[in-house]
Amino acid sequence: MSLFGRIFPKNTGPREQVGGVDPVLAAVTIALIGFGVVMVYSASAVEATVNHKDPQYFLKRQAIFAVLSLVVMWLASRFDYRRLQKGAVTYLIYGGVTGLLLACVAGLGKRVGGATRWIDLGPIRVQPAEMAKLALVLWLAYSLAKKGDKIKSFSVGFVPHLMAAGLMMVLLLKQPDLGSSVVLLLITFSLLFSAGAKLGYLLGAALVAGGGVVVLVMSKAYRLARLMAFIDMDHHRQDVAYQPFQSVMSFGSGGWTGLGLGRGLQVLYLPEAHTDFIAAIVGEELGFLGICGLVSAYLLLVSRGIRIALRATDDYGSYIAFGISTLFGIQVLVNLSVAMAIVPTKGLTLPFLSYGGSSLVVNAAAVGLLLSISRPRSAMAVVTPARRESRDEPGFDASFLEGGEVRS
Partner 1 sequence: MGVLCGLMGLGCGLLVSSAHKLQVDDGQAWREMAEAQRQRRLHVAPKRGTVHDRNGVSLAVSIEVPSISADAFEMLRAYDARTFPDALRRISGQVAKALNMSPDEVSAKIRQKRRFTWLKRRVSAEEVEAIRALGDPKKTANPIRGLQIEGEGRRYYPNRDLAGPLLGFVAPDGEGKDGLELQLEEELRGHAEEVKGLRDRSGRLLFAEGVSNEKALAGHSVYLSLDQGIQYIAEQELASAIRTYEATGGSVVVVEPATGELLAMASSPHFNPNDYSQSPPEARRNRAIHDRFEPGSTMKVFTVAAALAARTLTPTQQIYCEKGSMAIDNVIIHDTHVSEWLTPTQLLAVSSNIGAAKIGIELGESKLYEAFRRFGFGESTGLPLPGEAGGVLRSRGRPWVQVETAAASFGQGVSSTTLQLAMAISAIANGGKLMEPILVKRIVDGQGNLVREYTPRVRREAVPPHVARTVSEMLVAVTEGEGTGIEAAFHGFKVAGKTATAQKADPATGRYTQDRFTSSFIGFVPADRPRVAVVVVLDEPMLTHAGGAVAAPVFRRVAEFALRYMGVKPEGSGDVSLADVGRAASAAASGSAPAASAPAPWRTVAPPVSPELPVIPVNDGPSARLPDFVGMPARDALRTAAALGVAPSVLGSGVVARQEPVAGATVPRGTVVRLFLEPPG
Q: What is the DSSP letter of 113?
A: T
Give 137-204 as a DSSP string: HHHHHHHHHHHGGGGGSIIIIIHHHHHHHHHHHHHHHHTT-HHHHHHHHHHHHHHHHHHT--HHHHHH
Check: CB of residue 390 under 8 Å from CB of residue 95.
no
70 or 186: CB nearest partner 1: 186
210 binds partner 1 (CB under 8 A): no
- Label the pairing between strands 124-126 and 406-407: unpaired
Residue environment code for 211-236, b if the CB has 16+ CB neighbours within 10 A, otherwise e? eeeeeeeeeeeebeebeebbeebeeb
342 binds partner 1 (CB under 8 A): yes
Considering the complex, what minimum distance in angstroms separates the CB of residue 221 from partner 1?
4
46 or 68: CB nearest partner 1: 46
How far CA 235 is from CA of 196, 239, 243, in Å, comes to 46, 9, 13
225 binds partner 1 (CB under 8 A): yes
Q: Which of 42, 266, 358, 359 binds partner 1 (CB under 8 A)?
A: 266
Considering the complex, what minimum distance in angstroms separates the CB of residue 165 from partner 1?
17
Q: Which of 82, 83, 202, 253 binds partner 1 (CB under 8 A)?
A: 253
251 binds partner 1 (CB under 8 A): yes
Binding pattern for the stretch 40-69 against partner 1, x by CB under 8 A and - elsewhere? ------x--xx-------------------
Cis status, amide bond into 23, omega within 30 of 0: no
Residues in the chain, overall count: 408
d(CA 59, CA 53): 13
49 or 378: CB nearest partner 1: 49
Extended strands (E) in 162-226: none
Q: Which of 329, 351, 357, 368 binds partner 1 (CB under 8 A)?
A: 329
* Residue ranges in 112-131 that form contacts with partner 1 under rule CB under 8 A: 114
φ, ψ for residue 191, nearest 5 deg? -65, -45
The one segment of 12-20, 70-78, 189-197, 344-352 that binds partner 1 by CB under 8 A: 189-197
238 binds partner 1 (CB under 8 A): yes
Q: Which of 248, 362, 367, 373 binds partner 1 (CB under 8 A)?
A: 248
d(CA 356, CA 364): 12
d(CA 400, CA 22): 12
Q: Which of 66, 70, 101, 302 binds partner 1 (CB under 8 A)?
A: 302
Binding positions for partner 1, rule: CB under 8 A: 46, 49-50, 114, 190, 193-194, 221-222, 225, 238-239, 242, 248-256, 265-266, 268-269, 271, 283, 287-288, 291-292, 295, 298-299, 302, 306, 309, 322, 326, 329, 333, 336-337, 340, 342
